[in-house]
A and B are shown apart, each in its own frame.
Chain A
Amino acid sequence: MSDDKITLEIDGRLCTAVPGEMIIAVADREGIAIPRFCYHEKLSIAANCRMCLVEAEQGGRPFPKPVPACATPVNDGMKVLTRSKKALDAQRGTMEFLLINHPLDCPICDQGGECELQDVSMGYGEDVSRFSERKRVVKDEDLGPLIATEMTRCIHCTRCVRFGAEIAGLRELGATGRGEDMRIGTFVERTVAHELSGNIIDLCPVGALTSKPYRFTARAWELTSEESIAPHDSVGSNLRLHIRGSQVMRVHPRDNEAVNECWISDRDRFSYEGLSSPERLTEPLLKRNGQWQTVDWQEALHAALEALQAPGPDQLGCLISPTATLEEQYLLQRLVRTLGSDHIDTRLRQQDFRGDAADPTFPWLGLPIAELEQQQGVLLIGSDLRQEQPLLAHRLRMAALDGATIALLNPYALALNHASLQLVAAPPALASELRALSQVLGKPVQGATVEISDRHRQIATALQAAGKAGQGLVLLGALAEADPDYSLIRALAAALAETAECRLGFLAAAANSIGSRLAGSLPHRLPGGAAPKRPGLDAQAMLTDPRQGYLLWGLEPDRDFADPSLAMAALRSAKQVVACSHFKSAALDEVADVLLPISAFAETAGTFVNAEGRWQRFQGAVAPAGDARPGWKVLRVLGTMLEFDGFGQNNAREVHDEVAHACSGLAPDNRLSDARALTAITERSAPSAGALTRIGNLPIYASDALVRHAPALQRTPLAESLAVYLHPQQAADLGLTEGDQVRLIQGAGSHSGSGSVGDNAAAKEARAPVVLDDRIALGCTRIPAGVDGSEALGPIIGPVRIEKIGA
């Protein structure tokens, strides 16, 4: 390796470099500052801003013109002068040109104080302009609710354009016009609609693209910065929270090549708005005689304890959002288990728990996140990845651009930004599709298979080839996890992975889904992953076999469950419901008896374990809203009041250390115990004749309570509302056309008519418009979950009846 190194001189300093590296990269490594605007290490080289011009010579012969440091490869013996008279004159010249048409409206510009143009002009600009002509004015673009534009400030570095083409995979922005009239825009005046769009705000070196929600709310120098970890998907993006007083004003990415590189998803960037939502629960509340009363914490805690003890151990169920911190989950399970119950779960959107006994102890992605880019063959099963985990989708796109085969098996085809091989099948057929793939590889699995097509052969052989090279991966996503036959799909996926010599990976749905495995907040897991003597009831069983008392943590019962109707019915029938929540909601008002306000994201210290099993701790950055308290403290007090052991921790760190101790020696491992036997599980999702299967995908901005309360994200085109997506042929068979209003009948209410759920007669009826979409498999209909109106529906994946209103 050392043979490949060359030596060059920059400003008299000897530097070592790899041949072909650009001057600017070597200088950056050496801490030699070269001004630049268009250069960005994650984007292709444009060499258009001409700010990084330097003087260079090779073999004693000077280059005739100043050369761009960003686009000039180094050679052995090269001499570079970044601050010679010639170099500085070139840099100052460019600086002057950049400023002549720039409005210099820094006092009213959001970028002021953190502007690359401003910073560089301090070093290379003049105090007085020689330009006395009229300045250019450029019409603004409407890029939607997230990105504010002031295109007159644009310096045409094209970073945003290159980001779209190269990272987002969607050419939404481009340069039109030429010369002075060149401008950056959408050309067709369409809103930017991409899950990573906010990154162009960071990329823009000037105030042309700024954050719309943050606009005019603070100046850069008023803000302090705290490190944090994103609380939504399982990437665990590293964040920097910018804070004024006790308010998170905005969120920026924090570089971590292994996790999020320098990017974050829009969900991670803009969900902070939910923290200051008027819907926040800010004081403890008690329901007395059907009326909510504000009480102090002392009274509320006593009431909560009473409510938790009243039902008796076996009648208490604890349901936790998988975005809860490791510390919260750990203390919750300790509290509930000390109360005598093992009925605790965070897998709220899972319906099939038949495979629990075979569960790996510490499931994970199957490989480090960064290695996704090196995979040569990947099969994604049941995953709308761009919606679920935007940055993992980006990693897979990079693999695809590098020639990897990315195959998908889903109930609906995805709109992807790279080449892919997609198999689309209604949920009952997902298992048969997987068997077909195994069959192609000569290892048939018992059970029905679909007819083998060329695409099956292509996918199976690509996986096998990738597997042989040690770069093959089979991934299970959120739609697979929600499937009524998840145990079977998982077993078949494991069998296929084994046959193709691919790794098996799990796309953990939420920020701390993996953490649940380690904290023991599952019915069949104790802290550190050990199994309890007898597993408790899982999330589904706690609802189908209702308990008398529930403890809910950080969730919205009408949005966060696989079957919201079932969940609400069970909670309504319970005698005591204690809810610890970040937000108020009509559903909690209805079913809870005690409401305790707990700290949300950014307001508490904690730990998330991401998809690759990386433990990431963070500190509370701002004070909790109103009278809310950090969750771990609330639990500590409850435990102490009950005089339970193990609630004496002084800080979140100590709680973390206890979990870490319990997990010492535990390594991620996806092996299922007795996977082959599981493939014999019988399918139970065969729909009755005439019924369609609902695919209740979770839209990107409906994933959890915080993001659902972030107004700007909810105004973007990616925020879906309730609708019935049908294949045009399916719609024709049902006598439906685009825009028809239909009644949706699903779950308990749909077949009982009267009886126990007769109380439900008053329940809202779900109505939604029909949208034709030829990407949907025949036999099913996509009806989003977690959105307004979905609370009246049943299982996210399960039979649904559609009736035309007025027919």
Chain B
Amino acid sequence: MAENQNTVCFRTMHLDARVRHTLESYRSVGGYRQWERILREKPDPDQLINEVKTSALRGRGGAGFPTGLKWSFMPRSKPDQKYIVCNSDEGEPGTCKDRDIMRYNPHQLIEGMAIAGYCIGATIGYNYIRGEFYEPIARFDEALEEAYAAGLLGKELLGSSIDFDLYTHLGAGAYICGEETALLESLEGKKGQPRFKPPFPAQAGLYGKPTTINNTESLASVPVILEKGGQWFLEQGRPNNGGPKLFSVTGHVARPDNFEIPLGTPFRDLLEMAGGVSGGRALKAVIPGGSSVPVVPGDVMLTTDMDYDSITKAGSMLGSGAVIVIAEGTCMVKVLANLAHFYAHESCGQCTPCREGTGWLARVLDRMLAGQGRTQDLDLLDNVAGRIGGRTICALGDAAAMPVQSFLKHYRFEFEYLVEHGRPLVEAA
């Protein structure tokens, strides 16, 4: 197992913790060789994009859209300014992997962004970083300074005609700004709320110009894909599920951490890496891809592998790779109420169903937990969630709805018990 770990985004992890984020450390693992080769040889961007397509790299932010395909949407021949934007607004509850890429291997993200910029014809990049990430922000800014000083960023790089400037932009605490078009609005200095699509960012993105937005992990994977080849990356995982992936394992585990492991690794192995369920309790449930995806009962998870297609088959989504482990003895109504409050708090307020519906869900759950539940509340919750999902501009509506529907599906008896008895079936230990 260990030899398969930390092969891409975490490839500096084995170096001295005090200096592994520096330019020197990054160069020692082969860093910036791909960018320098591009600056020297100016390969056909299509050739590079094809390599990424071969790798079957899928967007690591949660939607899982093929990265190479996304890049190929950019109208490269248009004379407009184009932008590459990195989405480091990592706000999905349970997810903390992009934070560690910036803490431990920021240069690889810079190199990935520069290469992506070259591929799509963008000479300007923005890294939109979650505002609360104090340490990663500082690390990333230090790395930017180093890269500029080394002539890896800026104008006419290494004597070529290629320019690439990269800027940091900090978010201000809104989950919705992790949605790519809300992120663009925020980047433009406006209120962060998603744009109606079409037009998609590749046509009209930042400041109305063609823009590609990729997740931190996706972009940081690119230098290694080019170095070792798309085929190598694909073979790290499974067909259609190329590469290793970072999983943030949190919740009721003994050693919560980020793990970079091949896609297709059994969940059982990942749980073991995290030290198993804490306190030796049994596994009750897992939210396998960040708080927005449906919950999966523990027994199903124990026979499921960690890749996009397997998790879909298990009735959920791989999402951002945030694995939230829930042990026996946990009240699922309380878990859901917690999630519902999060979405009510983070809805941007633009679309009616999400603005009004998320608060309604949270209030009904609160009322149930206060012992005021009614039998019809169960159907109400399910129906209200169904009236939010699929009816809003962005996916936050779906994200708010899916947990509700899946919790009711798998743990309906806990809700029924609560309504009937006025207290939860599972009391806090």
B191, B351, B352, B358 — which one has the most chain A CB atoms within 10 A of its CB?
Answer: B352
Comparing A103-111, A171-179, A318-326, A363-371, the segment that makes contact with chain B is A171-179
Please give, as numbers and ranges, the residues of chain B lying within 8 Å of A182 by CB-CB distance: 348-350, 355
Please give, as numbers and ranges, the residues of chain A lying within 8 Å of B66 by CB-CB distance: none
B342: min CB distance to chain A, Å: 11
> Is B353 touching A179 in the complex (CB atoms < 8 A)?
no
A48, A133, A156 — which one has the most chain B CB atoms within 10 A of its CB?
Answer: A48
> Is A98 touching B352 in the complex (CB atoms < 8 A)?
yes
B42: min CB distance to chain A, Å: 37
Partner of B387, one of A96, A131, A133: A96
Complex CA gap A45/B350 in Å reads 13
B188: min CB distance to chain A, Å: 14
Please give, as numbers and ranges, the residues of chain A lying within 8 Å of B391 by CB-CB distance: 50, 53, 65-66, 90, 93-94
Counting CB contacts under 8 A, is A534 at the interface? no
Partner of A156, one of B196, B344, B349, B392: B349
User: What 0/1 readout, one digit per residue, does chain A (717-743) give for beta carbons within 8 Å of chain B?
Assistant: 000000000000000000000000000
CB within 8 Å of B: which A80-104 residues: 89-90, 93-94, 96-98, 100-101
Q: Given A100-B360, A133-B364, A133-B367, verify A94-B344 contact (CB < 8 Å).
A: no
Complex CA gap A93/B345 in Å reads 21
User: What 0/1 readout, one digit per residue, does chain B (214-236) give for beta carbons within 8 Å of chain A?
Assistant: 00000000000000000000000
> Is A178 touching B174 in the complex (CB atoms < 8 A)?
yes
> Is B355 touching A179 in the complex (CB atoms < 8 A)?
yes
Q: Given A66-B390, A179-B358, verify A94-B353 contact (CB < 8 Å).
A: yes
Counting CB contacts under 8 A, is A46 at the interface? yes
> Is A133 touching B360 in the complex (CB atoms < 8 A)?
yes
> Is A181 touching B352 in the complex (CB atoms < 8 A)?
no
CB within 8 Å of A: which B351-376 residues: 351-360, 363-364, 367
Complex CA gap A177/B346 in Å reads 10
Please give, as numbers and ranges, the residues of chain B lying within 8 Å of A98 by CB-CB distance: 352, 356
> Is A180 touching B355 in the complex (CB atoms < 8 A)?
yes
Complex CA gap A64/B380 in Å reads 24
Report the nearest B residue to A96, measured CB to CB.
Answer: B387
Counting CB contacts under 8 A, is B393 at the interface? yes
Complex CA gap A439/B358 in Å reads 67
Partner of A178, one of B349, B363, B392, B393: B349
> Is B393 touching A48 in the complex (CB atoms < 8 A)?
yes
B356: min CB distance to chain A, Å: 4
CB within 8 Å of A: which B322-358 residues: 344-358
B354, B355, B360, B392 — which one has the most chain A CB atoms within 10 A of its CB?
Answer: B355
Report the nearest A residue to B389, measured CB to CB.
Answer: A65
Complex CA gap A156/B348 in Å reads 12
A130, A175, A179, A180 — which one has the most chain B CB atoms within 10 A of its CB?
Answer: A179
Counting CB contacts under 8 A, is A707 at the interface? no
Please give, as numbers and ranges, the residues of chain A lying within 8 Å of B363 by CB-CB distance: 133-134
Please give, as numbers and ranges, the residues of chain B lying within 8 Å of A66 by CB-CB distance: 390-391
Complex CA gap A96/B193 in Å reads 23
Complex CA gap A179/B346 in Å reads 6
> Is B360 touching A156 in the complex (CB atoms < 8 A)?
no
Q: Given A45-B196, A47-B196, A50-B392, verify A179-B347 contact (CB < 8 Å).
A: yes
Partner of A175, one of B349, B359, B393: B349
Counting CB contacts under 8 A, is B176 at the interface? yes
Please give, as numbers and ranges, the residues of chain B lying within 8 Å of A180 by CB-CB distance: 344, 347, 349, 355-356, 358-359
Partner of A131, one of B346, B353, B358, B360: B360
B333: min CB distance to chain A, Å: 17
Complex CA gap A413/B87 in Å reads 45
Complex CA gap A447/B193 in Å reads 59
Complex CA gap A465/B30 in Å reads 59
Counting CB contacts under 8 A, is A71 at the interface? yes
Report the nearest B residue to A155, measured CB to CB.
Answer: B352
CB within 8 Å of A: which B158-176 residues: 174, 176
> Is A93 touching B359 in the complex (CB atoms < 8 A)?
no
Please give, as numbers and ranges, the residues of chain A lying within 8 Å of B196 by CB-CB distance: 45-47, 68, 71
Please give, as numbers and ranges, the residues of chain A lying within 8 Å of B191 by CB-CB distance: 174-176
Please give, as numbers and ranges, the residues of chain A lying within 8 Å of B351 by CB-CB distance: 48-50
CB within 8 Å of B: which A179-193 residues: 179-182
Please give, as numbers and ranges, the residues of chain A lying within 8 Å of B193 by CB-CB distance: 178
Counting CB contacts under 8 A, is A51 at the interface? yes
A90, A97, A101, A175 — which one has the most chain B CB atoms within 10 A of its CB?
Answer: A97
A639: min CB distance to chain B, Å: 64
B294: min CB distance to chain A, Å: 17
B204: min CB distance to chain A, Å: 13
Complex CA gap A156/B390 in Å reads 20
CB within 8 Å of B: which A521-556 residues: none
Complex CA gap A515/B364 in Å reads 66
User: What 0/1 readout, one digit per residue, does chain B (89-106) give for beta carbons within 8 Å of chain A?
Assistant: 000000000000000000
Complex CA gap A557/B419 in Å reads 79
A120: min CB distance to chain B, Å: 12
A504: min CB distance to chain B, Å: 37
> Is B353 touching A93 in the complex (CB atoms < 8 A)?
yes
Complex CA gap A89/B349 in Å reads 21
Please give, as numbers and ranges, the residues of chain B lying within 8 Å of A175 by CB-CB distance: 191, 349
> Is A93 touching B387 in the complex (CB atoms < 8 A)?
yes
Complex CA gap A803/B191 in Å reads 51
Complex CA gap A179/B400 in Å reads 12
> Is A178 touching B367 in the complex (CB atoms < 8 A)?
no
A37: min CB distance to chain B, Å: 8
Complex CA gap A71/B198 in Å reads 9
Q: Given A47-B393, A90-B391, A94-B391, verify A179-B352 contact (CB < 8 Å).
A: no
Please give, as numbers and ranges, the residues of chain B lying within 8 Å of A131 by CB-CB distance: 360
Report the nearest B residue to A92, measured CB to CB.
Answer: B387
Please give, as numbers and ranges, the residues of chain A lying within 8 Å of B367 by CB-CB distance: 133
Complex CA gap A82/B367 in Å reads 36
CB within 8 Å of B: which A371-425 residues: none
Report the nearest B residue to A68, measured CB to CB.
Answer: B196
> Is A177 touching B360 in the complex (CB atoms < 8 A)?
no
Please give, as numbers and ranges, the residues of chain B lying within 8 Å of A46 by CB-CB distance: 196, 350
Q: Given A66-B390, A155-B352, verify A97-B347 contact (CB < 8 Å).
A: no
User: What 0/1 readout, one digit per residue, does chain A (35-66) give for beta carbons within 8 Å of chain B?
Assistant: 00000000001111111010000000000111
CB within 8 Å of A: which B174-209 residues: 174, 176, 191, 193, 196
A184: min CB distance to chain B, Å: 10
> Is B346 touching A178 in the complex (CB atoms < 8 A)?
yes
Please give, as numbers and ranges, the residues of chain A lying within 8 Å of B380 by CB-CB distance: 130
> Is B352 touching A51 in the complex (CB atoms < 8 A)?
yes
> Is A179 touching B387 in the complex (CB atoms < 8 A)?
no
A50: min CB distance to chain B, Å: 5
Complex CA gap A64/B360 in Å reads 25
Complex CA gap A280/B415 in Å reads 71
Report the nearest B residue to A97, measured CB to CB.
Answer: B356
> Is A178 touching B352 in the complex (CB atoms < 8 A)?
no
> Is B387 touching A178 in the complex (CB atoms < 8 A)?
no
Please give, as numbers and ranges, the residues of chain B lying within 8 Å of A155 by CB-CB distance: 352
> Is A50 touching B353 in the complex (CB atoms < 8 A)?
yes
> Is B348 touching A179 in the complex (CB atoms < 8 A)?
yes
Report the nearest B residue to A98, measured CB to CB.
Answer: B352
Report the nearest A residue to B192, measured CB to CB.
Answer: A178
Complex CA gap A182/B345 in Å reads 11
Q: Given A53-B391, A175-B191, verify A48-B350 contact (CB < 8 Å).
A: yes
Complex CA gap A628/B344 in Å reads 62
A-B contact pairs, 13 of them (CB 8 A): A47-B393, A48-B350, A48-B351, A65-B390, A65-B391, A66-B391, A68-B196, A93-B391, A94-B391, A156-B355, A175-B191, A178-B176, A180-B359
Extra inter-chain contacts (20) besides given A94-B391, A180-B355, CB under 8 Å: A46-B350, A47-B196, A50-B353, A89-B387, A93-B391, A94-B353, A94-B387, A97-B360, A100-B360, A101-B356, A133-B360, A133-B363, A155-B352, A156-B349, A156-B352, A156-B355, A177-B349, A178-B193, A182-B349, A182-B350
6 closest residue pairs by CB, A with B: A182-B349, A93-B387, A97-B356, A179-B347, A133-B363, A65-B390
